Chain A
Amino acid sequence: MRMPGARIVLECLKRQGVDLIFGLPGGAVLPIYDALYDFQGLRHILVRQEAAAGHAAEGYARTSGRVGVCLVTSGPAATNLVTALQDAMMDSIPIVAFTGQVPTHLIGNDAFQEADNVGITRSCTKHNFLVKDGNDLGPIIREAFHIASTGRPGPVHVDLPKDILVKEWELVWPDQVHMRSYNPNYEGHPGQIKRAAKLLARAHKPILYVGGGVISSDASAELRELAELAQLPVTQTLMGLGSFPMEHPLSLDMLGMHGSYYANMAVHHSDVLVAVGARFDDRVTGRVDAFAPNAEIVHIDIDPSSISKNIQVGVPIVGDCRRVLVKLVEALREELREDPAPAVREGRRQWAAQIAEWKRDFPFRYEWSDDVVKPQYVVQEISNATGGEAFIVTGVGQHQMWTAQYYKFKHPRMWCTSGGLGTMGYGLPTAMGVQAANPGKLVINIDGDGSFAMNSQELATCFTEGLPVKTVIINNSGHGMVRQWQRIIYKERYCAIDLPGIPDWVRLAEAYGCVGLRVTKPSELVPAIEKMISTPAPVVLDVCVDKDECVFPMVPAGGANTDMILTAPTRAVRDRAAKSQTGF
């Protein structure tokens, strides 16, 4: 059947099972918007800035387990989208981004709104395509979704020149995708899995370190089975939060730069460390030569290039986390059939006791105040009010770390944060995508005043598209994380961090048709959260918090995880931190 390229794009999306796209029109993609005018079965959400379309697609993808889709025009729209693409790249989020392009005969002529889109996105996508022949539209779109959603997921970009969208072509839709150059390995090597099981069965001080791969491969149930089978403590990365219930007795919460003392100590002292779907990021490892120095490391990951990239690994297992964990549970059960040696039993008993002691002596803690709202308290009360059953999204900064520390995550795919790239402004647009994918569910964007300001225009989208996202601004009138570093590492030479009370977030929310609420005293917090949750419209709850509060524990960049700063530091500690900082 012959039809215009624009129509082919929409037909292909429908066949691919897409029901929702986030986008913003413009010259080069007008043919698609024209075709969308009377196309059935595809909802389009009009965002206010193109990066928001990308982030919304990420939120949709992360919480639904399906591929998120966004559509923007050429040139500046494509360059605006780059941040979201790189964000999805770093966090392995499957999205397919369509951009418009000038007609093929004008490519390279510096035409209006022209940019070398595929040249620009080459390094921030898993793969990209420039469609030069309309007959390739179907196969390319099919491959784009296949690449985005399989193997290690990631963003795929398809660039669509305008003439390709206008001209009529035959709709080609391959039944299957076969690519000789792309065949991810899903099954882990049985011999390696057996080695891992033997190590775990004999370990005195084992620990599981789990990341976003557990969520991408829907392996939470298998992870829990493994942990409970051999009573293995579990620590999660920022991206892995929700893969293991935080209130589980084996949970050690998050590890790394702002992770728990007990998680970092347990990792440091472990003798067998099993990394599942995690990539030994520098924010997790701290100084690499001091990371788990005595541990035999098993690394389960679908991406071979993640293995032995930062840390040399003894037992690499390339495969899908869920499938490998299923096999690992089987193998471990086999190993545990014989009673463990008395030394192992005694070692494990001491290990459990040691961890319990760390947990008892060094929990996450902050000083309570009756006068000023402590940011950690805000997160705790959100956690209490929702019982861990809400979708939580954050921006980037202190509030993000407090959320990771104090929110009691229960379920996978209910947490979105910009982990790898650290994209400020991620919160609201992503929450929008989460809300669109989960209508009727409670979606809370815990944001900072600096971060929220970067995409607050999306309140308009929330209002007009009926997406009742709840935003809680942890408002400390400044760039808190930068302030914290300047305080601890740069000797209190505060520079370019003040955001003094502008705008008035309550009035801004109201200007966008949303509901604005404000809290300035601790006693007002709980009623305000309740009111926010019970309001059916999008809400902005502006919570004015203690601006001097810092995120602790903290490992200064370049430091070892055992060099944690636990409380507001003395001058001597600050000097030491400044010294251990690499390059300064």
Chain B
Amino acid sequence: MQNGNEPRTHTIAVLVENKFGVLSRVAGLFSARGYNIESMSVGETLDPSASRMTLVVRGDEFVIEQVTKQLHKLIDVIKVTDLTDESHVERELVLIRVNAEPSNRAEILRTADIFRARVVDVTAVSFVLEATGDEGKLEALIELLRPIGIQELVRTGKVAIGRGSKARVRRVEPPRKPRVADDPKVVGFAD
């Protein structure tokens, strides 16, 4: 197009009706229009009738504008927010099964400790590590473990939430008993 903007990675939060077929509507939109999804994660929200998707999409401003408009055009989409230029927190979880021979078990544990990763499964020859963080942190961890020998690696894709007090998910049901996340005293978990 006439738009010379450089492509960059955007994190887009999409609130959708928790209905049959929604996921394929969103995925179908991307394939039909030739956009690429880098990652996508979906889960229920406080309101069980709505789900929240976090999409990571790469594109120039023009592409991203079309992506958000087209997403919004889907009947089951309630709200679309591009979080990229807003203050937000994003996290991804990774599970890594890494070779753990006696000679490098200590090093793996030290590395895990630095990244605040946890060992969630142990065998005589392997560890499964669980780590959360933003993309940069996880990439760094993976690069450090790679020479030791990663057997298998699973990533959840990114989830993201805006910082501050503004709620992005309009609750349609009467407020329920506050959960931990609703309690204003709990501002976040140490990280």
Contacts and interface: CB of A to CB of B under 8 A. Distances in A.
A and B associate in one complex: yes
B2 A289 contact: yes
A123 B74 CA distance: 11
Contact of B73 (A130, A288, A289, A305): A305
B42 to A, nearest CB: 16
Interface stretch (A176-184, A422-430, A492-500): A176-184
Give the secondary structure class of B's interface: mixed
Contacts of A126: 75
B166 to A, nearest CB: 19
A180 B75 contact: no
Given A130-B21, A308-B65, A312-B3, A123 B72 contact: no
B160 to A, nearest CB: 21
A245 B21 CA distance: 45
B69 A304 contact: yes
Contacts of B24: 119, 122
Contacts of A305: 66, 69-70, 72-73
A181 B28 contact: no
B100 interface: no
A447 interface: no
A118 interface: yes
Contacts of B65: 308
Contacts of A309: 66
A127 B22 CA distance: 11
A122 B75 CA distance: 12
Contact of A123 (B3, B20, B28): B28
A127 B75 contact: yes
A312 B4 CA distance: 12
A304 B73 CA distance: 8
Nearest to B16: A181
A289 B16 CA distance: 37
B17 interface: yes
Interface in B3-29: 3, 16-17, 20-21, 24-25, 28
B76 interface: yes
B172 interface: yes
A542 interface: no
Given A304-B69, A312-B2, A122 B78 contact: no
Contact of A181 (B1, B2, B62, B77): B77
Contacts of B28: 122-123
Interface residues of A, number: 21
Nearest to A130: B20
Given A122-B24, A303-B73, A309-B66, A181 B78 contact: yes
B114 interface: no
Nearest to B70: A305
B69 A122 contact: no
B2 A122 contact: no
A132 interface: yes
A399 B172 CA distance: 54
A232 interface: no
B181 interface: no
A147 interface: yes
Contacts of B21: 118, 122, 130
B190 interface: no
A126 B21 CA distance: 14
Nearest to A152: B73
A16 to B, nearest CB: 18
B32 interface: yes
B25 A122 contact: yes
Contacts of A130: 20-21
Nearest to A126: B75
A172 to B, nearest CB: 18
A335 B70 CA distance: 35
B17 A181 contact: yes
Interface string A286-310: 0011000000000000011100110
Nearest to B65: A308
A289 B170 CA distance: 42
A308 B3 CA distance: 11
Given A123-B28, A130-B20, A181 B76 contact: yes
Contacts of A312: 1-3
A304 B1 CA distance: 18
Contacts of B17: 181
Given A289-B2, A312-B2, A181 B75 contact: yes
Contact of B78 (A119, A127, A180, A288): A180
Most buried by B among A119, A123, A179, A181: A181
Nearest to B76: A181
Interface string A114-128: 000011001100110
Interface centre among B1, B25, B32, B70 (most CB of A within 10 A): B1
B66 A147 contact: no
A299 to B, nearest CB: 13
A406 to B, nearest CB: 35
A512 to B, nearest CB: 39
Contacts of A122: 21, 24-25, 28
Interface in B62-118: 62, 65-66, 69-70, 72-73, 75-78
A123 to B, nearest CB: 5
A194 B73 CA distance: 27
The list of the 5 closest CB pairs from A to B, nearest first, reads A305-B69, A127-B75, A181-B78, A182-B75, A305-B73
Interface of B: 1-3, 16-17, 20-21, 24-25, 28, 32, 62, 65-66, 69-70, 72-73, 75-78, 170, 172
Given A181-B77, A304-B72, 7 more contacts: A118-B21, A122-B25, A180-B78, A181-B75, A308-B62, A308-B65, A312-B3
Interface of A: 118-119, 122-123, 126-127, 130, 132, 147, 179-182, 288-289, 303-305, 308-309, 312
6 contacts: A127-B76, A181-B16, A181-B77, A182-B75, A288-B2, A305-B69
